[in-house]
Amino acid sequence: MTISHERLESLNRVLGNSRFLPQTIPAEKAWAALTVAIEQLSDAGEDLVVPQPNEQDAWRRSWEIYTKLHERQRAREAADPVKILASQQAHAAQELWDSFVSHREALIWEVKHGGLSPVLMEYVGLSPDDLETPDNKETEQWGGRFSGWKIRAHTLSIAIARWKSMSPDEKRLAPLVVTMRRQARAIEALERRVAALEGFSQKDAAA
């Protein structure tokens, strides 16, 4: 049996001041409706002490329980989606921060014990700055964390995944690959300079 909140309020106006529940069929039906509503609104395993209908002030005490449960349900239904999203984002950010700290410690350990040389750091996409302290004591704007920590967190996540997946052969060939990458970048930079100079020359000729 389900009854509306408005109907229960109407019954409460009739029975709310009764010290003892009247021994009538309408009162018994009202009591049954109230107890069912309490059961429907309560959480699984929730310990609620609902009085017996023959106890003194049974309706008033049960109505107080129902009111609290009803208000709680309304608050849940009216939860601000913006606040929910903010809470989810904060949880995700904390998980990312925790993994960031863990990855940084693991990579620093590799560096200190000679496993991750400067060349291998470059190979997996790390710069020395990436392993600097993630804390920023100068400002509390980011909760004591520097503003770009999420970018560095992703960088470290990718780097440690690459490092863990590298075979001995790949580690042995990594210096050669790094040298080739550096040469490719140098050539690309030179080509851009040449293109820029040619552009200036064409402008001068046109003038």
String of DSSP letters for 15-52: HTT-SS--SSHHHHHHHHHHHHHHHHHSPTT----PPP
Q: Tell me, yes or no, if the pTM score tops 0.75.
A: no
pLDDT band at residue 142 using 50, 70 and 90 as cut-offs: very low
Q: What is the pLDDT of residue 80?
A: 72
Q: What's the pLDDT tens digit per position in 143-169?
A: 457 777 888 899 999 999 999 999 999
Residue pointed to by tokens 């925790």: 98
Which residues have CB under 8 Å from 31's CB, separation 6+? 21, 53, 58, 59, 62
Residue 141 has pLDDT above 50, yes or no: no
Per this entry, what is the length of the chain?
207
Q: What's the pLDDT tens digit per position in 32-42?
A: 999 999 998 99
Q: What's the pLDDT tens digit per position in 8-34?
A: 898 999 999 999 999 999 899 999 999
Q: Percent of the chain at pLDDT above 70?
A: 87
Q: What is the pLDDT of residue 206?
A: 58
Backbone angles phi, psi at 36, to 5 degrees: -65, -40
Q: Which two tokens stand for residue 44?
A: 């699984």
Q: What is the pLDDT of residue 45?
A: 85
pLDDT band at residue 83 using 50, 70 and 90 as cut-offs: low
